[in-house]
Structure formats: structure tokens, C-alpha cells
Structure 1
Amino acid sequence: MTDPAAEPAAFLRRYEQATNSHDLQRVLPLIAEDAVYWFSDGSHRGRAEIAGAIERTFATIRDETYEISDVEWVALAPGHAVCRYRFSWTGVVDGQARSGAGRGTNVLVRRDGGWLVLHEHLSS
């Protein structure tokens, strides 16, 4: 029997890798057009707003390494998946080495044969 979390887990790893590329053009195709992200700096609705928030993060935290760990799949179905996890980051902010950590929740949806992030909530 196949693991029902295998596909969404592989997608989440690709999402983490895309984030670590610091290339917005690798990250955006993994986000649904109608996604909503909740970050410490506010809520961002739609891919354009989310792109702006991600760009600001990339510009603020130089040489960032972002890591997702302790993933728990709380809901799995053929068309959607929900997980919660821990995240951590290291990088350079204003010329100083910095790091942080927190908790995340993602809602993934399957559209056009692939997975996309529909909602992300990060809190520190």
C-alpha cells in the first residue's frame, strides 16, 4: 500500500528547495493564484501580494537557509492535504548573522494534476 502522504510530502520538499533557491520564479508556480498567506508582518491575499512579501523577505534576509521539520499530516485526501510543522531559518540581516524559528501550517490543493499551496500560516 502506498503512503498517502508521499506526494504532498515530496511537494513540500520541493517548496522548501524552491524557497532556498531565493528565486521567486521557482517559488511562485508552487503557490495557488487564490492563496492566502499569514506572516508575522500581516496577511497577503493572492499570488501577487504573496510575491511581494516573499521578495521583501529575500531582500531582508541574505543568504537565508530555510528548513521545514517535524511535519505532521493532519488531513489527507486525493484533492487536498493539511500539515503542521516546525521551521527554522538562518541568514544575514543588516550585515549580522541571525536566525529564527517557529511553527507553520500549510493547506495544499491538487489542481491540474499537481499540488499547490493554498494557505500558509507561519508564526514565531
Structure 2
Amino acid sequence: MIILKSCLVLSLLTALQPVENQKVIPATPNIISFDTDYHKKGTWVQIPKGTKKITFNVKAENTETVLFWLVPTGTETWNQRKLIGYDIKEDNKDNQFTLTWNIDRPSLLDHLHIQALGEGIANDTINLIME
């Protein structure tokens, strides 16, 4: 019995000792889902002509902020992007990020690029077309 108690005490004491050179690796952002209030046709979100507002919904883990970028279609257009909004995490249980964008143009043929920011960056893109 004394040996059993001694082993128990030793295991508890060694578990409480700090481990040298132990690195804690923070979890990187993970985009679980990304959608809008309009349907997709192929790889394009179909937005009816004349629409004035659209809501984007992102579910992401290990994320503090989500940035929403509008990027023109074509090649090498990243430098022409426009930040149309962002959403910041409310509390530790908040994994939902939303942006309602007031469409400020008569037509759309663009990419919506999102960046989930935390201890790193996760990216995703959907295509937008107004018909």
C-alpha cells in the first residue's frame, strides 16, 4: 500500500512540473463553411439584377476576424481588390462571421475572397455574378 501511495504522489508531482522546451502550437484558422443568401450555379453565386444587399456567412474555427475582399475577375487582379467589410469575434464561443454588403454597383462579375485571421490565415473564394 505504501508503494502504491508513493507512486501516486510521484506521478502527481511530476505531472505538475513544467516541461522544458515544450512548445504550445496555437490552432490555425479553419473555414468550415462559406455561403450567401443566393443559390450557386456551378461555381458562381447567381445574384438577381437590381439586388441592393447580399449577406455572406462564414463559419470558422480558431478565428478572430474575417476580412471580405471584392476582387475583379481576370488575371493578376489582387492589387485591385477592395475591402468591403469585416467581422470580429464577439466571444470565445462565436464561430459565426457575417457581412451584409450594400451593393454599390449596377452589375457584378467578381470574386469574393475571404481571409480568416487568427494565429495564421485561412482563405476561401466564391464567384459572384449579377444576372
Relative to its length, the structure with more strand (as a share) is: 1
Scaled by the length of structure 2, the TM-score of the pair is 0.25
Bigger relative contact order (CA 8 A; separation at least 6): 2
Relative to its length, the structure with more helix (as a share) is: 1
Scaled by the length of structure 1, the TM-score of the pair is 0.26
